[in-house]
Amino acid sequence: MGAASDSCAITLGKKRMTFVNLEPNDQETIRLAMVAVAEERVLEEPEFKTRVGVSLERFRAILSRWPDLDDGDDSSDECLAINNTLNEVLNGVGLPR
């Protein structure tokens, strides 16, 4: 398994692991993490964009299009929102139960 340092997608063989290539249960796990970050207010609005890469308003717009997301472009809002959410949940914020 290899990942480029400037890439949001992991490459397994010749297949990039973008959102659309994930199993439905993995997609749902990401959705739940994003909902928690958006709705539990674990990040205050002034720091939200800095830490997640998109504004809270844009983040909610991405969630509203679920599961019609394309994070294949590493600089896309979808890529930033998904990957930075996972980074925050795993390394940054604490989520209430």
Question: pLDDT by residue (tens digit) across 57-73?
Answer: 999 999 999 989 888 88
User: pTM to 2 decimals?
Assistant: 0.77
Where do the domains of the chain lie? Answer: 10-92
Secondary structure (3-state) at 97: coil
pLDDT at site 4: 42
Q: State both tokens at 34.
A: 């994003």
One DSSP character per residue, 7-50 reads -SSEEETTEEE-GGGS-HHHHHHHHHHHHHHHHS--S-HHHHHH
pLDDT at site 43: 83
CA 21 to CA 33: how far, in whole Å?
A: 18
CA 37 to CA 64: how far, in whole Å?
A: 14
What is the gyration radius of the CA atoms in the chain, in angstroms?
13
Q: For residue 1, what pLDDT band results from cuts at 50, 70 and 90?
A: very low
Q: State both tokens at 51.
A: 């830490």
